[in-house]
Every structure is written in C-alpha cells, then in structure tokens.
Structure 1
C-alpha cells in the first residue's frame, strides 16, 4: 500500500496530484523563435523516471530541419539582441532569477522526477543554478573596453567588447537546471542568442526554464530549445553552419573531442567542460571530522553522478584506517530511495546502463583483491539504485581508479609521503578538480599549487559558486563558466586605432 509524501507523490512511485499537475504544465514541444511547436518529423521522446522506470512525459523529437529552424531564429534575433542595452539585458535576467525563485519547488520536483536526485538536493541545485541568472544580470552592465594612449604618440587605442554571436549549448543530464543557467545566463548577458540542446534523459527542466525565460521578457528567437533523440545528427549541421559562432558543451571527454574536431572547420569559439576523475587527499594532520564531512559532500552529491565528484580517495597511512572506518559508517547509514520520499538521501542512477557499469567496476576490483567495507550491490526491485559503497585495498590498475566512475562508490588507497600522494593524484588524464585536507597552511598551499587541476577544494568538499570560475585543464577541457571570467567566453575583443 502506498502513502502520499509531502510533495504529493506516492512512495510506491505512482503519480500523485502534485506531480500530475506539475507535469501537465510543462511544455512538450520545441521552442523556436518564441513559438512552441511539434517536431517536423512527428516523433516523440519518452522521458523516464529512473526511480521507477515509468514514463513521465513524451516530448517532441526534433529533426535536422528543426535544428536549422532553431539556428535561423537565433540568427534572425542576434543583431537586435546585441543592440539591446546591457542594463535591459540584465533586468531580464534578474526577472528570470525572481521567477525561478518563485517556482523553486516546481523546478526541484521536476528535476527529482526526471533525474532522480533527492528533493532536498534538487532544491539546492535550484538555489545554485538560479544564482547564475542573478550574477550575470549584474555582469551585463559591467561589460567594458579600454581607452589608452599610444606609447609612441599620435593616436589613441580603443578596445571594445562585442558579443560573439549565435551560440549552440549542449547540456548534460546530471544537473538539468544548473547546466542550463550556467550557459544561458552569460550568453544572454553578453548579447548572444542561443540554441539549447538538453540531454535526452532530462529535457523537462530545460523546457520549463524556456517557458520562464519567455515570461521574463526574453525576446523571440533569443533562446531556442531543441530536444532530439539524435543529438549528433541534429547538431552536426549546426556546428558546420558558418552563422554559428560559439559552441559550449558539458559532457564526456570522448564526445567533447569529437565536437572540437567538428568545430575546427568553422574555427568556432568553444568552451568544453568535460570529464573528471577527482582525487581526494587526506593527510595525517587533517581534521578527520572535517575530512569525512568533506568526503561525503564531494562524493555523494548527485549520487556521485557529477564531474566534480571525488572518485579516488588517497589517505596518508597514519589516518587511513580511521578515515576508512568513519567514511564507511557514514556511507552505510545513508537512506536510499526515490527522491520524492521523505528522508531519502540517495536516489537512483540515471538508467540501467549506468547502474550496471558501476556494479561491474566494483565487482572487477573485488575480483582483483579489493575489500568492500559497505555497500557493493544494487538495491531495490524497481528503478536503478546502487548502495553507497566504500572499497579498500583497490589495485592501482582498477577501473575504479583509472576511469571516471559516475556513481556512489569511494575507493580508498593508502599513501606514505606528500610527494607520493601528489603523484597519485596527478596520475590521470583529467584535471577538473581535486580536494585536499590538511591543517598545515604551508602544506595546503604547496599541494594546491602542485595539483594539476583547474579547481581545488582545500579543506572543502564543495567549490561550485556562480561568482567563481568553473573549469578544468588537460582532458577535462578548457574555458570557464561563472565568475568574472564566465562572460568573456561569449565576448570578442575589437581594437580600434584612431589618430589625433
């Protein structure tokens, strides 16, 4: 027998009144030129609840022709939007911030339904993701150039900032709201129009966001949303179109590499936020209470389905046993369940393939001599749940260490010296983020400077902030989102020399 939870859904996964009402109000078409329309091919995409396997909605399946129409709309709106005063662009983004805040519960529930994360965590994503609208609403009127004298005399040097032009943004499924706002907000602030391609698994949040942006006053054609089950087929012609001037992508490194190759033909401006395999260093002098708290935050955000998730735990020998014990206790105590259930702390993985991949990696490590301290199994009869897991004695060549694992698994490896710990941390093709816990100020600065990553959490398990530049190095990509740097990704610099 099912019971109704606080949000109106039911504990057995059947649809409650709150959920039905929300889904009924979410658009299911393509948003092109300010108009909601069906795909030209008439196809539909089934959006699934990963906690139950049930269908939430069916949405339009866009075609190559629909992609061309979306870019046509963005191109048609570009000149007018670029001329729009920066203060007006900022005010529109601020209205979008207010509207998202007013509908925070709707966005949170929608993300929980289509992606699986617990409702409390989804609320946190709404707050974080919405902050990009507020941040870039304030950055828009601060776009500025430079005026200088020619050192040789006889002229003045003027630099001005102008929008890059139409943008294609390809989004991942794991943070449906934040990944959209992190790209849409700076593009609009800079004066760029945009075509947004949300992930097939989690398009509903983006569709609701487009509805809110239109309500905030974004002109027709400035933001266009293209849903499609054939992302590569639909986006390739857009990337090859000389009218597109910017490509921004968040997703896996292999896909990112292909997109970079495609973008070379038109020499597009590109931003790539790609995979990660974040190390989490714990030194002998660390405050273990803070280290374990940080580990939980860095590992378990989004069930571990995050490019910033701590994937490799390197712990100095003097505290390794105690840290592993405490981490296993905390991980083992987490409540696994549908994200809408009261008390749920860990939701399902995105689909069966993701769950099975995590399970296989743990099984391979155990077969090679690793020991499971907690978890190590799929749970539940429905949905794609996997128990929070801590594994020790993990072989160096195990995929749990060498590849990015998108799931709630924490492999722990012991090291002896600072130099050894840093070598292990940097022994990866990725370089998005690293975490380090130590009470020594000098060691902290040495380690932060030596880590080959774009971001470092020093005695912190969470670093994401709209006011800070987010991005990586090496195979984790290039470009930055957020902070003072974020808007520069959507601006060109023009230099004018005029004699006096």
Structure 2
C-alpha cells in the first residue's frame, strides 16, 4: 500500500499548533533555536519541526513553575475548578483537531483518537469536580488536651514525563489532578508525539491558566532536560509513564531529594478465558484488550491464557476477525490497524513472532511486516504458544495475539502471575465465585472481569510489583498531589 499524502485540511490543523517551548506563559524558541522533526509513522513524512529544549530551558521552566507555585496554591479551589472545566469544554470543541493531530503523529485509527480525546478530556472534568472536594478533619485528641487539625496542601512544583502512545490522555491525567490540588508543573512530552501535548497546552492557555502554572519543554534528549529538573531541590514531585527500566532510573534519581513519585510502568497483562466463558463476549473483549491502539498500550493483553477445551474454537473465532482487519493510514476510512510507532517496533514484532514459531507455536495469520511506506505490521494470531517463548515474559507493544493453554484454575493463576509485572489482568468466566477468587488471586492493580477495556477517569489506574507505584484517576488520583499536615491546637 502507498500511504496518501497529507491533504490541505490536515496541513491547516498542523499549522495552527505552536511548536515552541511554553515557559512562564510565553511560547519561545529553544536556546540556540534548535529543532527536531516529528514524523508521520504511516508515511515517514516530516509533519512538523519542534523546539529542541536544553538543560538551560528546563531550568527556566522550573523557575517559572516555582515562581507561580505560591499564587496558584492560594488560588481558590473554585477558580481552579472553573479553569479545568473551561479546558474540558474547549477540548470538546477542538476534539476533531486533537484527534487528527494524534493520528498524524502517532498513527492510531482516527476513531480511536476520537475515543482518546473523550477519555483524556474526562480527567479535566473529573478533577474540576475533585478540586472543590479536598478535605481534612478536625477533632479532639484522646487525652482531651487539644484539638487535632488534619489538613491537605499541594505538594509543590511537579515534573511530568509522558509517553508517545496516548499523547493526550497521559498528559491530562497528570496535569489535571496537579492543577486541581494547587500544584504547578513542567511537562516533558514524548519526542515522537509532542504535537498533541502542545495543542492541549495552548487550550489550557486559552482556558485562562495563569502564567507559569504549566510549562512545556520539548526535547530530542529526555535525559538532558530531565536530569537538571529532578536534581533541583525545589522540585517536589515526579510522575512518569513509560518502561520499567527507565522508571527505575528515575526513581533512583528522585531518591536524592526524596521526591514524591508516581510511576506507571510496564505491563505483561494476562487474559484468562475459562471453559465456562461466554465465547462471544470473550472474543469481543480479547480483541479490544489486544488490538486497541495497535497493541501499543501497557494495558494490552499480552498473554492470552485459554482453557484447553475451548482454545481451538476461541482461536479460530479470533483469527476470523483478525483476518478481516484493514491495515492502513489512520486517517483513511475503515482502517482498524495503523502503523507501529517506528522501525524498532516493527523489528521487535518480527523478532517475537520468529521466536515463538521457533519454539513450536503455530502461526495462524499475519506475522509479517505489511507492505507500505510506513511502519506497518500485519495483525497476527499465534496458537500453541510455548511457556518459554519471549512473548511470555516480554511486553509485545504490537498487534500480536498469542494463545497458550491451561487445564486447571490453579495452573491459570500460576501462569498469569509468573511475571515481575502487575498492571492489569482480564478474566472471562460465567462463574461468579471464580470471578471473585480471581480478584483475590491475580497479582495486578486492575482487573477486567468479562470486559476488555476498563480505563475510566473516575477509577484509580496503576499497578503493583514492577508495574509501578501510585494511582492516576479516581478519588485516589488527587491524593498523589497533596501533602498531609497535622496541627495540634491546645484547649487550655
């Protein structure tokens, strides 16, 4: 396939996006006026050139956040709430622009980009409502000698590092609770997909956000801008979404100043289908859990663990659906599978398929690079996956549906938990008691029971083990940006 070139409407949207750094309420060039290219993975075409920030720019951005912190913390909760609400309304008005930009720079089908705009926008609305519900408590101490006041206060300036795969939602679910709590921030968007974040921050500016409250430093070198910010004793909070390896390095750096950290790291999600599952529901849920975002999600089902009595029928049904999927540029009508983010992602998908087949798996369909100008990989189904295949231990981040089998519930639990990760799991069973047992037995921070997509702004998102620490979203999400203070007031 030869991907279509950008049309006039697409170019017009891109031309309206600011491409500089945003520091202290002003769009500006990077030090030295350096830039880096942003490419459309469906075509390889450069679609924008963005300011390439330096360590000096990073320090300037933190300076702005620190300068704005006291004033923003003192801003009435209702005012903070109304700014977030206006931002949500503007995101709804600009939904098509945001979705188009996301598809152009990341590759996902436009329908999925629209879904991310709706999902990402909900963090603005949810935390606009939470901003006015920050509570403490008051009461007499047990000895009767004084009254105890427990109050909540913003932790202070924050630094956010976001990933390329969900460029709007990963920004809003960090920025929104921070703003609601009264924290200022510096955000470092991903090098591969910075444009969505830049467009979103321009929306925050339009919503009336004061200068310096949110600052953006784009850069081709994450380390060069991250290290000086994390090392600065004025920073009080670090939040990162990305790989476990990088997360560990950042936690080590953050330990020097004992920073509060939130880490949403890697996943190796098991999807368990028991013999009593509703197969129609299980197939629908498994396809959603695997192929959403072209499989490039930490929540993507990585290991499909199916009872041996139904594995053949289940796999055949999935394969039929997968063979009907259309691969192409995400802006084209009817496309289900867009390009992977870059050549490294394609090479990884090829390696994982080759390894699985070499270790005895059956390639049912796909398993190869799709023809085209961009970084396309055919949606793939693999059956009879061996327990020693690399897919069983390595996050795929691609459209590969790999099935292994089990005989007993205990075996399914053992296979599902046999990983250092613990972000999310999926279980399909019509047995309510078994479903409740799985809630207790599976070692993950989240679980979908008879459903393949569970993320919601009103729910806490996060994992256990090496999938991270902290939670984003829900009533728990704002707590990540608040510090508890206890005060004793004597009664005599």
Q: Is 62-71 or 314-323 further displaced after alignment?
A: 314-323
In structure 2, how many angstroms separate the alpha carbons of the residues matched to 1:385 and 1:371? 22
In structure 2, how many angstroms separate the alpha carbons of the residues matched to 1:203 and 1:154? 56
| 1:489 and 2:480 matched | yes
CA contact (8 A) 2:3 2:42 kept: no
Say which of 135, 138, 160 aligns to 1:144: 135
TM-score normalised per structure 1 = 0.97
Residue 397 of structure 2 aligns with which residue?
406
| 1:162 and 2:163 matched | no
Say which of 301, 313, 327 aligns to 2:304: 313
- Listed one character per residue, the Cα deviations across residues 286-345 of structure 1 (whole Å, up to 9, x for unaligned) are 000000000011001100000000000000111111111111111111111100001111
TM-score normalised per structure 2 = 0.99
Residue 77 of structure 1 aligns with which residue?
68
User: CA shift at 1:492, angstroms?
Assistant: 0.1
In structure 2, how many angstroms separate the alpha carbons of the residues matched to 1:91 and 1:27? 24
Say which of 22, 33, 36 aligns to 1:42: 33
In structure 1, how many angstroms separate the alpha carbons of the residues matched to 2:251 and 2:57? 23
- Listed one character per residue, the Cα deviations across residues 143-198 of structure 1 (whole Å, up to 9, x for unaligned) are 01100111111100000000000000000000000000000000000000010000
- Listed one character per residue, the Cα deviations across residues 265-301 of structure 1 (whole Å, up to 9, x for unaligned) are 0000000000000000000000000000000110011
CA contact (8 A) 2:443 2:464 kept: yes
User: CA shift at 1:381, angstroms?
Assistant: 2.4
In structure 2, how many angstroms separate the alpha carbons of the residues matched to 1:215 and 1:428? 45
Q: Is 269-278 or 230-239 further displaced after alignment?
A: 230-239
In structure 1, how many angstroms separate the alpha carbons of the residues matched to 2:456 and 2:140? 37
Structure 1 counterpart SS, 2:425: strand
In structure 1, how many angstroms separate the alpha carbons of the residues matched to 2:256 and 2:54? 22
User: CA shift at 1:13, angstroms?
Assistant: 2.5
| 1:291 and 2:260 matched | no
Say which of 230, 236, 250 aligns to 1:239: 230
Residue 17 of structure 1 aligns with which residue?
8
- Listed one character per residue, the Cα deviations across residues 39-72 of structure 1 (whole Å, up to 9, x for unaligned) are 0022111000000000000010000000000000
Residue 196 of structure 2 aligns with which residue?
205
Residue 134 of structure 1 aligns with which residue?
125
Structure 2 counterpart SS, 1:92: helix
| 1:368 and 2:334 matched | no
Residue 98 of structure 1 aligns with which residue?
89
| 1:334 and 2:325 matched | yes
- Listed one character per residue, the Cα deviations across residues 416-449 of structure 1 (whole Å, up to 9, x for unaligned) are 0000000000000000000000000000000111
Structure 1 counterpart SS, 2:321: helix
Structure 1 counterpart SS, 2:228: helix
Residue 8 of structure 1 aligns with which residue?
none
Residue 354 of structure 1 aligns with which residue?
345
Structure 1 counterpart SS, 2:313: helix
Say which of 110, 120, 126 aligns to 2:101: 110
- Listed one character per residue, the Cα deviations across residues 443-478 of structure 1 (whole Å, up to 9, x for unaligned) are 000011100000000001011000000000001001
| 1:66 and 2:72 matched | no
Say which of 112, 126, 129 aligns to 1:121: 112
User: CA shift at 1:399, angstroms?
Assistant: 1.1
| 1:433 and 2:407 matched | no
Residue 315 of structure 2 aligns with which residue?
324
Structure 1 counterpart SS, 2:310: helix
In structure 2, how many angstroms separate the alpha carbons of the residues matched to 1:205 and 1:408? 23
Structure 1 counterpart SS, 2:235: coil
In structure 1, how many angstroms separate the alpha carbons of the residues matched to 2:299 and 2:393? 16
Say which of 42, 48, 53 aligns to 1:51: 42
How many positions carry a matched residue from both structures? 491
Say which of 391, 408, 416 aligns to 2:382: 391
| 1:87 and 2:78 matched | yes
- Listed one character per residue, the Cα deviations across residues 186-216 of structure 1 (whole Å, up to 9, x for unaligned) are 0000000010000000000000011000000
